Chain A
Amino acid sequence: MNNYILLPVVGVGMLLIAALISNMIKFEGGANPKDAGKRKVVFWLFFLLNPGVAYAVGLLTSPASGIAKTKHMDSLPIGLAIGVVVYLLIGFIVSKAMKTSKVGHWF
């Protein structure tokens, strides 16, 4: 599949996993609950992991040889960049749109 489509999809997938984990983190009690901070950490951790995972996916889906491989590898950095931007952009929009939910703690 085209890196320009595949790697943003990976970014969205990473975002979904971050959202799932964020939702699994329980609201804490105490005078200074830490749960909101933990969700923020999860979001940025997956942000950092995203390029690595996307790169690995790019490599795994690369054709074995030839021009197709060259083209695939050439598009990988741009696909990665699009994936990162998609992760950040959708993450920001979702967080602001659902600001009183657990993903609202991302931003």
Chain B
Amino acid sequence: MANKLFVIGIGGTGMRCLESFVHLCAIGMFDNQEINVLTLDTDATNGNLERVRNLIGLYSNIKSGATKDGGTPNNNTFFSAKLNLYGFNTDYNSPSRSTYRNISRLTEGESSRQNKMLSDLFLDNSSVQEFNLAHGYRAQTHLGSHLMYHGIVEAARNLAAGGDVSSAEKDLDEFIQKISKAGEEARVFIFGSVFGGTGASSIPVIPTALSDAMHVRSQGKSPLDVTKVKFGSTLLTEYFSFKKPDQGEMATKANSVIADSSFFPLNSQAALQFYQGDPTVQNVYKRLYHVGWPLESKSMDKKGANKTITGGATQKNPCHFVELVCACAAMDFFNATDLKSEGKAEYLFRTGEFENGAFNFKASDLVGNQNNIDEKFIDKLGAFLSLAHITLTKNEAGFGNKGFLGLRKQLEDNNIESYSTVPEKELEQLDEYMRHFGYGFDTSNNFNSGWIYQVRESIQPGNFIFTNAAFSKSLKDLKALDVGKLYEDENYHWDKGGFMSDSYQTFVKSLTKLVMDDGAHLVNHTKEKFIAHLHDGIMASQSKR
């Protein structure tokens, strides 16, 4: 039985976890898989949401051939999984939907008095019912769960009624229908935090909300049985902080509630008690992965910031190691062969070595070691990091040049001209992806860390698989970098190929000697073949160690 994979990213933290997940797909950890991805947020303008949606768009463009359809699943190559992107956001933009009070129409209808009393019982009358929802639920999870559930069911009602249906509602519809159709084969993994606002509000209610939405949408004809569909999620506790809001910022009704990160540990504690004891959660989720960061939370405030960022386009927080851990949890969930089909949720965790005030993570701390997956993870992540340095550093895409064009030229010079038809613009998309993954210098020569650099920075002074030199930010050090010596463990270093040679020479030689088997890679168009060729070139170089 082939599993059908679904991922839902919720809220700012969920989006960054999703970003890590996309990079795992790019390095080739999900060979021959088609994965449906839903971004779910209250804040359509959120910077993290925009960043991950752009990243997935770029990923799909890279995989696409002439038909721009996001390509097909491939085997044993980079960008091997096909990603189908869907997006839904609850609409809190118009004045009539901007606050709980407006959206709930408490003063209308026959039961208005009872509704108001009930609302006042659970939701603070002067703040929680009044703040602007456009930037999310601001750590008010009791309100958020209620609104997210109804936001999804309301969309289903609109869909069932037909008429003026938004593209976001259509996306949600298609996503839910796919889960429903997959039935027992569906594995749905949800990314979000338990300490913040949107993610923390949504994780407990999403399975039920999707099921009820499907019931409404299909008028009871096509069920989405939450006991059959396998749901998994992370219980991600606090790992970042931001400036405490002052009274001036909270002076208006719209900003009467601003999340205060000093309460995140308390929020996390309360949430974990809830997840441990709540029977609904225990029955709908098959696995819940505890993910936490025991060190001091990293401040997300920008230098000189004098205002708490509640959301919007400016909320573009850097990535953190725990988000990679969450992405690995999703991989574990998708690969699991021993998922229980019935009974209560399993709660899982792993730990890493902590010495002298720093973590020293091994691959197995993230992905385990079943079927040598830790070795695969080391090889694939190292191979993609090598490709990043080959294109960004050796071929200078990190400095504004065209790295993949240079690699293709190198192949053409070696009389391998099969890839000459790939348009230059599409090769530039690969450069752009590598800058998202690795690094890039802007036109003023400022260094911008990409995903893996940010992940590495978040665990410093700790270590994880690669040397410090692999994350150099100095132009001089980068120029001197050997792309085959990125690993801390010297056993993984490539053979540099004799006197006066280096690993890049080993790589190009491997590249030119390869006989490609397109059938084994399941590649269909020229760009996929080019990517598979580069993948095999690096793997062949890695094998020479």
Question: In the complex the two chains form, is B504's CB within 8 Å of A31's CB?
Answer: no
**CA A101 to CA B390, docked complex, whole Å:** 20
Within 8 A of A (CB), among B486-510: 500-502, 504-505, 508-509
Which partner residue on chain B sits nearest A95 by CB separation? Answer: B415
A69 at the interface (CB under 8 A from B): no
| Most chain A Cβ neighbours within 10 Å, of B390, B401, B413, B508 | B413
Question: In the complex the two chains form, is B501's CB within 8 Å of A31's CB?
Answer: no
Picked from A26, A33, A100, A105, the residue with its CB within 8 Å of the CB of B501 is: A26
Q: A24-B500, A100-B512, A101-B512 are in contact. Are A29 and B395 (CB under 8 A)?
A: yes
Q: A100-B414, A100-B512 are in contact. Are A27 and B504 (CB under 8 A)?
A: yes
Picked from A29, A36, A105, the residue with its CB within 8 Å of the CB of B396 is: A29
B136 at the interface (CB under 8 A from A): no
Within 8 A of A (CB), among B402-439: 402-403, 405-406, 409-410, 413-416
Chain A residue contacts of B413, Cβ below 8 A: 33, 35-36, 105
B476 at the interface (CB under 8 A from A): no
Question: In the complex the two chains form, is B409's CB within 8 Å of A29's CB?
Answer: no
Q: A26-B505, A99-B415, A101-B512 are in contact. Are A31 and B409 (CB under 8 A)?
A: yes
B221 at the interface (CB under 8 A from A): no
**CA A96 to CA B483, docked complex, whole Å:** 30
**CA A59 to CA B502, docked complex, whole Å:** 43
Which partner residue on chain B sits nearest A104 by CB separation? Answer: B415
B394 at the interface (CB under 8 A from A): yes
**CA A91 to CA B65, docked complex, whole Å:** 40
B68 at the interface (CB under 8 A from A): no
Chain B residue contacts of A65, Cβ below 8 A: none
Question: In the complex the two chains form, is B508's CB within 8 Å of A32's CB?
Answer: no
Which partner residue on chain A sits nearest B410 by CB separation? Answer: A33
Picked from B405, B500, B502, the residue with its CB within 8 Å of the CB of A31 is: B405
Picked from B406, B416, B500, B509, the residue with its CB within 8 Å of the CB of A33 is: B406
Question: In the complex the two chains form, is B406's CB within 8 Å of A32's CB?
Answer: yes
Within 8 A of B (CB), among A57-107: 99-101, 104-105
**CA A30 to CA B406, docked complex, whole Å:** 5
Within 8 A of B (CB), among A1-44: 24, 26-27, 29-33, 35-36
B513 at the interface (CB under 8 A from A): yes
**CA A59 to CA B294, docked complex, whole Å:** 83
**Can you give 12 A-B contacts (C-beta < 8 A)?**
A26-B502, A27-B504, A27-B505, A27-B508, A27-B509, A30-B396, A31-B396, A31-B401, A31-B406, A33-B410, A100-B414, A100-B416
**CA A23 to CA B89, docked complex, whole Å:** 59
Residues of A at the B interface (CB closer than 8 Å) are 24, 26-27, 29-33, 35-36, 99-101, 104-105
Question: In the complex the two chains form, is A31's CB within 8 Å of B402's CB?
Answer: yes
**CA A105 to CA B35, docked complex, whole Å:** 43
With A33-B410, A33-B413 given, can you name 9 additional A-B contacts, CB distance below 8 Å? A26-B500, A26-B501, A26-B505, A29-B393, A31-B402, A31-B406, A32-B409, A36-B414, A101-B512
The count of chain B contact residues (Cβ–Cβ below 8 Å) is 25
Chain B residue contacts of A32, Cβ below 8 A: 406, 409
Chain A residue contacts of B394, Cβ below 8 A: 29-30
Q: Give the shortest distance, in Å, between A27 (CB) and chain B (any CB).
A: 4
**CA A87 to CA B529, docked complex, whole Å:** 38
Chain B residue contacts of A24, Cβ below 8 A: 500
Q: Give the shortest distance, in Å, between B389 (CB) and chain A (any CB).
A: 10
Which partner residue on chain B sits nearest A37 by CB separation? Answer: B413
Chain A residue contacts of B395, Cβ below 8 A: 29-31
Which partner residue on chain B sits nearest A34 by CB separation? Answer: B413
| Most chain B Cβ neighbours within 10 Å, of A24, A26, A29, A35 | A29
Q: Give the shortest distance, in Å, between B479 (CB) and chain A (any CB).
A: 10
6 closest A-B pairs by CB? A29-B394, A36-B413, A27-B508, A100-B512, A31-B402, A99-B415
Q: Give the shortest distance, in Å, between B208 (CB) and chain A (any CB).
A: 53
**CA A74 to CA B366, docked complex, whole Å:** 79
**CA A105 to CA B414, docked complex, whole Å:** 7
Q: Give the shortest distance, in Å, between B512 (CB) and chain A (any CB).
A: 4
Q: Give the shortest distance, in Å, between A29 (CB) and chain B (any CB).
A: 4
Which partner residue on chain A sits nearest B504 by CB separation? Answer: A27
Which partner residue on chain A sits nearest B408 by CB separation? Answer: A31
**CA A37 to CA B406, docked complex, whole Å:** 14
Question: In the complex the two chains form, is B415's CB within 8 Å of A100's CB?
Answer: yes
